[in-house]
Structure 1
């Protein structure tokens, strides 16, 4: 007798999505108590406070924890669409809706020649690995916009550009989705949309760009790659401290500025590498735009002085888009990112106290998680380069057609 929910079928995928998302929703609603600190306070306290300010027609100009582009106001105000629910509950429901929309987009994208449902499976399996933090931040909403943009870019570059422009005004990083795009229409559409949304907010709401002044005094966040220096240094007489600063737990003290500057240097080096790749890449295929976006965001996430757990949602979404294409070279980097997601939920929130204390367990978790991200970034960049830059096809086992068979430029 056949079942309607076989493990590899869309029905089986939907069953798994329903089970895992029900568990996440029960966690953020506190029906199930998830170990570690309460991850929902950002919504019930911080977002709720911003909602009151934004509802009055202005941005939180005196709150240094507001470090988001102006369109983020739409995510914070969105629970007003469900006035029959409390603020936090409405936010969690809308996060669930964004999750479901993303799944629907990936399922649709997995149909047809050269496509696969494995992208949808990456999303269904990857999101719950991060625990309830996914629904307690607005990043899942931004990721839904980014996924829609990448998938639209295959046939509708101007639509992609408009979504990228809007997404960048939600949380900046979606601007990196254009790194592999050659069509001028996408870039023009992104600039016009982004500028239009920015001007609209600047005219209608005071303080739209106050967030730009709230970044300069930040330290090094305790979960970042650079933070490993101070986790070790604390055991050898370093005189700094760990404090809640600018909305995250950071190291503050001697030499922190040096490490933060080093992180900026690495990010700059990643940008230079992407520019050089873009200049040299010639063999671009339909999946190259998604692969390049995944690698670009992975590089910037890994080198950042802040690697908050919710950043991993971005990578899961972009990884899922990559694997909607059967010919994507990002299979192994995606597996590494999923492994990093599993370790992320252990370091936050489950054993975050150990991370803050810089003890053996906390430091080990960060070494493994950040090591997986570094490995994914290096491997992903290497595969992207080998697959697209002339003279590199077939090197190191990278599959692909013969060098002479140049493929058309992707949208």
Structure 2
């Protein structure tokens, strides 16, 4: 190992041992989805039973089942340990790509920030399927300018596990000159997934993850649920309940159905606005690598902030765009990096240890999640403002941004700098 990287790998090991310990010992059962939901799904598939997404409708895209199977090698009782090992190995691969040969200060800063975020977010950081897609997205974004088709395939596979990496694909198609290769990589990957799924009997369930979302109500962690949490906390006509069909907690109260119905169109409008701002920035001949990190972060944050669905693990979606942004321009991404750490800490305050307090709409828990959700909206506003500024003709990149962007564009995956 390169001696200059030794401290960073020591940090990685210590942080992941800490995450292991928290996930396995914390109250609130942060690995509940892994052992109660993922384990039966994977055992059922491997034992010749019904395959979710193939023989029956499923809330996840079809490839989400793939990472649920390898931890079975550890046995039924140690499935959770196997899951954590798998996630740690994937993180290590992405971490190695990020650090490269250790000469880039921006990459090392990004690596330290990533480890800090794992600490502040807590055990949920590896407790859901989202954790598998994060290192994939990091690697894809780091190589996308040099290997656009490979990056597109990685992001497409990740999207067929959890939909959020589609934001990175869309952003790349919008601003990169290699958009055709990115589009082709995504189309080819999707065709392979669909043909394979249909061949083993996936029709009509292969796209059931889309239809399964249409009837969902407003989840308690979604920013739009905050008014109902306050009403319930103050003894008003609102309540929190568990939906056994989709296995999640939602809010019930006056106007919930209408609000739930309009949230998807509102999200589409916000995404369209972000796309227009990115197009405007391109017209000023702003470098694509200046626009791309902000655009990916904007789209990902919109998927969190303007959504009727909300879960603590959604915070891990911020990791890949912020790591990428810190590599390209640590100066520009200082504010979102710090704000994301605060959002992660606020999330850990109510999940998993005292999640019951939130379910009872206790005042302190409602205040905590309100602050977290306001912070998410602030992050979205920052992204929109930055895209607007990037579209202003007078904006010129700093020396640091120019150097980092040039280095990122010129560095192949096999020779990181």
Partner of 2:70: 78
Q: Relative to structure 2, which stretch is displaced further, 287-296 or 165-174?
A: 287-296
State how far apart, in whole Å, the 2-side matches of 1:150 and 1:262 are: 32
Partner of 1:230: 228
Q: Relative to structure 2, which stretch is displaced further, 186-195 or 261-270?
A: 261-270
Partner of 1:261: 261
Gaps of 5+ in 2: 401-405, 411-417
Compared CA separation, residues 87 and 341, structure 1 to 2 (3 A): same
Partner of 2:189: 193
Q: Which has the higher helix share?
A: 2
Normalised to the residue count of structure 1, the TM-score between the two structures is 0.86
Is 2:20 the counterpart of 1:18?
A: no
Partner of 2:403: none
CA shift at 1:141, angstroms?
Answer: 1.0
State how far apart, in whole Å, the 2-side matches of 1:278 and 1:241 are: 38
Equivalent residues of 1:103, 1:123 under 8 A apart = no
Equivalent residues of 2:336, 2:379 under 8 A apart = yes
Equivalent residues of 2:140, 2:152 under 8 A apart = yes
Compared CA separation, residues 347 and 263, structure 1 to 2 (3 A): farther
Partner of 1:365: 368
Q: How many residues align?
A: 390
Following superposition of structure 1 onto structure 2, how do residues 164-175 of structure 1 map, counting pairs within 5 Å? 164-175=155-166
Normalised to the residue count of structure 2, the TM-score between the two structures is 0.85
State how far apart, in whole Å, the 1-side matches of 2:276 and 2:329 are: 26
Q: Relative to structure 2, which stretch is displaced further, 266-275 or 121-130?
A: 266-275
CA shift at 1:364, angstroms?
Answer: 0.7
The counterpart of 1:68, out of the listed 60, 63, 70, is 60
SS in 1 for 2:10: helix
Is 2:30 the counterpart of 1:39?
A: yes
The counterpart of 1:340, out of the listed 338, 343, 348, is 343
Instruction: Give CA deviations for 1:94-146 in whole Å, capped at 9, x if unaligned.
Output: 1111222222122128745x844211111111112111112221211111111
State how far apart, in whole Å, the 1-side matches of 2:186 and 2:339 are: 31
State how far apart, in whole Å, the 1-side matches of 2:347 and 2:38 are: 23
Partner of 1:382: 385
Instruction: Give CA deviations for 1:14-71 in whole Å, capped at 9, x if unaligned.
Output: 2222222112112333xxx324x1112211111111012322374336877x411011
Equivalent residues of 1:150, 1:289 under 8 A apart = no
Partner of 2:81: 89
Compared CA separation, residues 285 and 276, structure 1 to 2 (3 A): closer
SS in 2 for 1:26: helix
Partner of 1:356: 359
Equivalent residues of 1:393, 1:400 under 8 A apart = no
The counterpart of 1:107, out of the listed 88, 99, 107, is 99
Instruction: Give CA deviations for 1:238-289 in whole Å, capped at 9, x if unaligned.
Output: 1544224412111134321122234324312221112212322221243432
State how far apart, in whole Å, the 1-side matches of 2:353 and 2:75 are: 33
State how far apart, in whole Å, the 1-side matches of 2:160 and 2:116 are: 28
* Cα RMSD, aligned residues only: 2.8
Partner of 1:208: 206
State how far apart, in whole Å, the 2-side matches of 1:278 and 1:188 are: 22
Equivalent residues of 2:74, 2:81 under 8 A apart = no
Equivalent residues of 1:95, 1:138 under 8 A apart = no
Equivalent residues of 1:287, 1:325 under 8 A apart = yes
Equivalent residues of 2:136, 2:154 under 8 A apart = yes
Equivalent residues of 1:240, 1:254 under 8 A apart = no
CA shift at 1:292, angstroms?
Answer: 1.6
SS in 1 for 2:161: helix
Gaps of 5+ in 1: 402-406
Partner of 1:393: 395
Equivalent residues of 1:106, 1:321 under 8 A apart = no
Equivalent residues of 2:59, 2:213 under 8 A apart = yes
State how far apart, in whole Å, the 1-side matches of 2:345 and 2:358 are: 16
Following superposition of structure 1 onto structure 2, how do residues 172-321 of structure 1 map, counting pairs within 5 Å? 172-178=163-169, 179-180=171-172, 181-182=175-176, 183=178, 184-206=180-202, 207-234=205-232, 235=234, 237-245=236-244, 246-282=246-282, 283-321=286-324
